[in-house]
Structure 1
Amino acid sequence: MKKLKMAVKRLLSKTGSLDLFIKRAYIWATVFSYKLRYFLIQVKPKQIIFESFQGKSASDSPYALYLQLQKSLPNAKFIWVFANDNITDFQTLQKQANTHCVIRGTKAYFQAYASSQYWIVNCRLPYRLLASSKQTVIQCWHGTPLKKLGMDIKVENHPTSSLKAMHFAYQWEGRRCDYFLSPSAYASSCFISSFGLDKNQIVELGYPRNDSLFRYKDDIEYQQAIKQKLGIEKDKKVILYAPTFRDDDFSNGKHTAINRLDNDAFKEQFKDVHFLFRGHYFANVESKKDTGFLDVSDYPLINDLLLIADEIITDYSSLFFDYLILERPMYFYMYDKDKYLNDIRGTYLNVDTDMPGPVVERQEDLLHAMKEMNYTIEQQNKFNQLYNLHEDGKSSFRIFNTLIK
């Protein structure tokens, strides 16, 4: 049944207006079903539901706000969404006196949304979840965008949706949230155009997810504890490779994460280095038996990985905006730059002139750039003023004080 559903989606993605018509009809039908089924459920004041990365973990800005709300609203009731009950965070949070966990897509999941006064999420939700006037939806999103999003994508190449239907889906997401968090004027502009937001939906007070980066960026003891947890020697240099997904790299219903640096020609150029690889949360990691990389794709707290990384290698991922806070070297390995810019998504910034680190297309050029380490703190400070102006470790408190208190 799942394969048949995916096959139908892929077929409809080629039909344009028909796909849009079916998408609209499907969304409104599921909303009607949801409202009909749960309209008698009363909204409970001070009940707050959190969802991060479609239930993969308790992480990112929703988790930062959860920690803030535990201190500021100790009598509130908190509900966390997880994909299944085998996730470590499910077991941990379920033991908290004021916290309950639900499984995504179940009856309890939809009941929890129907009864919660606040929805705090960082991902797109099932279409049927449309809040009532007594509820407040806070969309945290999950990073400052470099690659184009939603309505800003102009290339017809999505594997399971036509461009028209995808644009409508992002408009729907923007329409149903009351507040959309943003760390900068640049990000606000991207979110307004990609989700079809009004300016009054934007709350430009920084990303709660980055509070811990600011707090622990100089805390060596905290960073050593993370290394110990991952089995990394405390004095060993750490390099994190974290590419984003490709829309056209899609099979068996999932995007694929490929580690293009997991080869001897790259690894043999380094001594006493521990390599980490993190795929996008959308993607399945293509695994190898013999590798010099530790796969940390399922490690829930990305900030932990950034804190222990002496350098990062990425491409079109938003990750580098957060890493800028730490003022460390970063490199952009865009092996498919022309294809990505012209045939896949495109980017908001000019990657040839606007990036805070070397942009290369070949592995040998990446190795050369890493040996030269041609970046400056002054350059990164300039970028932080543009993109991380509010990142001072207090974003969670400001969001609470502005939107919930």
Structure 2
Amino acid sequence: MKEEVLTKVCDISIIIPTYNAREYIIETLESIRKQTFTGKTEIICVDDCSEDNTVEIIKNYKDTTELTVKIIQQTKNQRQGAARNRGIEEAIGEYIFFLDSDDFLDEDTLEVMYKKAKIRDCDFVLCDWVYYYETDGEVYVNNDLFLFEEWLSKENCEKLYQAQTYFSVNKLYKRDFLLKNEIKFGEGYIYEDFEFYIDAVQKADLIGIVSNPFYKVRVNPNSTTKTDSTTTVHMNDFLVAIEKSLNKFNPRHKDSFYMVYKYFFNRAQIYSENRVPSRYKRKMIKRTVEILNNRSVNYYVPKNIVLHNRMYFQKRLIQNNKITAIMTVRKLQNKGTLNRYYLILSKIYKRLLINKLREKMRARAMMRIKNQSKNAPIKENTVLFLGFDYRYIGNSKYLFNYLRNNFSELNIKFVTVDSSVPTKYRIKPRSNEFWKALGESKIIITESWTPLAFFKKEDSLWVQLWHGTPYKRLFFDSHEKFISKFNRNHKRDKKRDISKWDYLLADSFGGKRKLKSAFSFPEDKILPLGYPRVQWLKDNQENNLLKSDIRKRLGISGNKKVILYTPTWRDYNYKNSNPNFDYLLDLKVLNAELGDEFAVVAKLHSMERTSIPVNNVIYPEDTIETQELLLISDILISDYSSIIFDILPLNMEFLLYVNDKDEFAYARGTYEDLDNLLEPFTHNNIGSILNHIKNKYSITKHPNYDFLRKEYSNMFDWDSNRKVAEMIESIVKKKVSI
């Protein structure tokens, strides 16, 4: 064993094996140059006897960049494994990152992963990944369960065996961890990652997980795994790789044998169908089964697994070498008929068939309508609002009203059942009229997630207004443990929705940075023009007649000051039959202590409202929108809600009541920079809140408040509605390209 611990000379060594990489190597290197990481890095390019001018390109790049670039040329082609091992030997960084020569990184990758690694001295840190296609851009397919965790320790590190793909890239390894444990890649064959991955996972004691898809896997038709499909090289190398991997395999977790065997067997099926001549298919499956069984036939198999794996492992087709039966199950699985045959045997099929036929008839009728809509020509002056989950509220409402009042030449529709939208503009969700409008509209405007069934046409343009600047971590910036626990495809499906967006609206430049990271969205497609809902607040700040009308509708009389309480929903209550409402402010105490000087208005979730009914506290009807409540309020009390950023342009007082910081951090988390900025305004007990209000303390002169206004609020001197409308107008008039 190599015991010596080398002295740290730089923070991160980035190892790039190259072979005929001239097409993409500059883009790969540029993604390193653009990193926000300020520590010291080195790039080690190990060339495996390229037959093109890859080395010359790297040398020229080295001469024109401030990056530290080392070029190592192998004397003999030994494939990527040997190149990566050579890189490990030459590396002087505290941490090592493997990057393929046609892949690239998000600019925040190294900064975020290095910071995570240092927090708890991880053996390695992984980030999420996304496929990148030249024609379609990013395509997110991942649904690995371990991505919902912050950290994995001891035997739980082996949850990584659940991964869809055993990547050695997308991870930042502590170099000493690799050296001390003699973790190396296989050499001289494809699929060299298997051996490395198996060993690294089983020897790790602590792994940090970053939920952002920072690593971009380019789908390259000329890569090693996409060529040589007319020979047996993929079969031979795959069998060598799994046999060498299993020779090292010594797991700690009871599920690990099943997870690894399932992965290797699934890969054997896929590769035998796509990467080797068809006449070798059975041979590859047979030999794979033999290798697995030679290692072990007695291992734990979980109960709740999908049907084909139940057949392979629970019914022991693999353990008993039933190759013909295995091939039959696979054939039925590929045809989509395995479940049907299984149900027939289970005598349940007839009853389900009737329901299935009914569903098919409905689906076919809808499909005909959708196909007609997809083929309909785009009408250039049409704008379709999908609303905030079909609701006539928020940014969608105010932008819609601005457009219909100022741009009569536009044909505007709003998808909702809300009768507040005039009939001539209103379309019922998922109706025939809706599908027709979706197919004909030039511009689609939405404010939240949209169903995947909503198709996007090539000539249409989608504008996502989103519904707030996030204080709580959002989407890829959070592990979203409780939501993802109930739907492991949650992020994969939502990323497909994101891929439809052409533009994303932000309320501020600080908000733009958060949304870029959260949605892994191109920075140049995020428009910091300000939210229409905030513009409405700015426009009506001095509208005393409107304020008086809103107060009257709420029953607030005289000169009472208004305190608005708007907590945000908690992820840890998601699908919880016994939700925990301990995070709520005690409105009974608040109302009693403040007396008649204040009117307390509480905008709560329906479940929250029923949990704490209090006399003399005003619970507004849903017909009164949050923006109207903000307009008449003197003090806002909230917690993790984006609502606090809406009121900053009004120079309004706010307080944050947070008594569940640890629970919330575990469930979703907040952005650290905003935590620090908001800390002076955050209280964890009602006594502190009351003291602040009774003594009439003001936070608006605090330097943090001023910084928040400048960075995270709509302080623009332009009309946000007008700015967004001008963009829409220019698209309709074809002044800009999509």
What's 1:25 paired with? none
Which 5+ residue runs of structure 1 have no aligned equivalent? 1-11, 23-29
The 3 A distance-change label for structure 1 pair 191 and 263 is closer
One-letter code aligned to 2:386 = E
Determine the C-alpha separation between the residues in 2 that align with 1:55 and 1:155.
Answer: 24
Deviates more, 1:184-193 or 1:288-297: 288-297
What's 2:594 paired with? 270
Determine the C-alpha separation between the residues in 1 that align with 2:459 and 2:505.
Answer: 20
CA shift, 1:149, in A, is 0.9
Q: Does 1:40 align with 2:375?
A: yes
Work out which of the residue numbers 667, 674, 678 in structure 2 matches 1:355: 678
What's 2:690 paired with? 367
Q: Does 1:116 align with 2:447?
A: no
Determine the C-alpha separation between the residues in 2 that align with 1:257 and 1:124.
Answer: 26
CA shift, 1:329, in A, is 1.4
What's 1:394 paired with? 719
Q: Percent identity?
A: 22
Q: Give a deviation string over 1:270-304, Cα, whole Å, max 9, x none.
A: 12221111135xx6443255533222362453221
**Structure 1 contact 205–390 (Cα < 8 Å) conserved:** no
Work out which of the residue numbers 76, 81, 86 in structure 1 matches 2:410: 76
CA shift, 1:227, in A, is 0.8
Secondary structure at the counterpart of residue 571 of structure 2: coil
Determine the C-alpha separation between the residues in 2 that align with 1:258 and 1:48.
Answer: 44
* Map 1:314-329 → 2, pairs under 5 A: 314-329=638-653
Q: Give a deviation string over 1:60-98, Cα, whole Å, max 9, x none.
A: 22222222222442022211111x3xx3414xx21xxxx
What's 1:60 paired with? 394
Secondary structure at the counterpart of residue 275 of structure 1: strand
One-letter code aligned to 1:89 = S
Secondary structure at the counterpart of residue 347 of structure 1: coil
Determine the C-alpha separation between the residues in 2 that align with 1:227 and 1:175.
Answer: 43
Q: Does 1:167 align with 2:167?
A: no
Deviates more, 1:153-162 or 1:234-243: 153-162
What's 2:105 paired with? none
**Structure 1 contact 182–207 (Cα < 8 Å) conserved:** yes
The 3 A distance-change label for structure 1 pair 228 and 108 is same
Deviates more, 1:69-78 or 1:131-140: 69-78
CA shift, 1:233, in A, is 1.1
Secondary structure at the counterpart of residue 269 of structure 1: helix
**Structure 1 contact 170–194 (Cα < 8 Å) conserved:** no
Aligned length: 371
CA shift, 1:120, in A, is 1.2
Determine the C-alpha separation between the residues in 2 that align with 1:393 and 1:303.
Answer: 20
CA shift, 1:353, in A, is 2.4
What's 1:149 paired with? 474
One-letter code aligned to 1:353 = N
CA shift, 1:125, in A, is 0.8
What's 2:584 paired with? 260
Secondary structure at the counterpart of residue 130 of structure 1: coil
**Structure 2 contact 531–714 (Cα < 8 Å) conserved:** no
CA shift, 1:238, in A, is 0.8
Work out which of the residue numbers 568, 579, 591 in structure 2 matches 1:244: 568
**Structure 2 contact 583–659 (Cα < 8 Å) conserved:** no
| More RCO (CA 8 Å, sep 6+) | 1
One-letter code aligned to 1:292 = N
**Structure 1 contact 279–297 (Cα < 8 Å) conserved:** no
Determine the C-alpha separation between the residues in 2 that align with 1:254 and 1:211.
Answer: 39
**Structure 2 contact 587–617 (Cα < 8 Å) conserved:** no
Secondary structure at the counterpart of residue 355 of structure 1: helix
Secondary structure at the counterpart of residue 332 of structure 1: strand
The 3 A distance-change label for structure 1 pair 255 and 297 is farther
Deviates more, 1:42-51 or 1:178-187: 42-51
Q: Does 1:235 align with 2:559?
A: yes
Q: Give a deviation string over 1:186-208, Cα, whole Å, max 9, x none.
A: 21121112112112221121112
Determine the C-alpha separation between the residues in 1 that align with 2:401 and 2:579.
Answer: 32
**Structure 1 contact 262–293 (Cα < 8 Å) conserved:** no
**Structure 2 contact 677–708 (Cα < 8 Å) conserved:** no
The 3 A distance-change label for structure 1 pair 383 and 14 is closer
CA shift, 1:210, in A, is 1.1
What's 1:138 paired with? 463
Q: Does 1:184 align with 2:508?
A: yes
What's 1:338 paired with? 662
CA shift, 1:357, in A, is 5.3
The 3 A distance-change label for structure 1 pair 107 and 238 is same
Determine the C-alpha separation between the residues in 2 that align with 1:289 and 1:345.
Answer: 28
Determine the C-alpha separation between the residues in 2 that align with 1:19 and 1:233.
Answer: 61
The 3 A distance-change label for structure 1 pair 115 and 279 is farther
**Structure 2 contact 534–714 (Cα < 8 Å) conserved:** no
**Structure 1 contact 210–391 (Cα < 8 Å) conserved:** no
What's 1:49 paired with? 384
Aligned-pair Cα RMSD in Å: 3.2
Determine the C-alpha separation between the residues in 2 that align with 1:289 and 1:403.
Answer: 45
The 3 A distance-change label for structure 1 pair 260 and 113 is same
Determine the C-alpha separation between the residues in 1 that align with 2:563 and 2:583.
Answer: 13
| Normalised TM-score (structure 1) | 0.81
CA shift, 1:115, in A, is 1.9
The 3 A distance-change label for structure 1 pair 291 and 52 is farther
What's 1:7 paired with? none
One-letter code aligned to 2:389 = Q
Which 5+ residue runs of structure 2 have no aligned equivalent? 1-142, 148-161, 166-305, 307-362, 731-738
One-letter code aligned to 2:375 = L
The 3 A distance-change label for structure 1 pair 271 and 249 is same
**Structure 2 contact 471–642 (Cα < 8 Å) conserved:** yes
Determine the C-alpha separation between the residues in 1 that align with 2:494 and 2:439.
Answer: 22
The 3 A distance-change label for structure 1 pair 120 and 36 is same
Determine the C-alpha separation between the residues in 2 that align with 1:61 and 1:289.
Answer: 30
**Structure 2 contact 535–719 (Cα < 8 Å) conserved:** yes
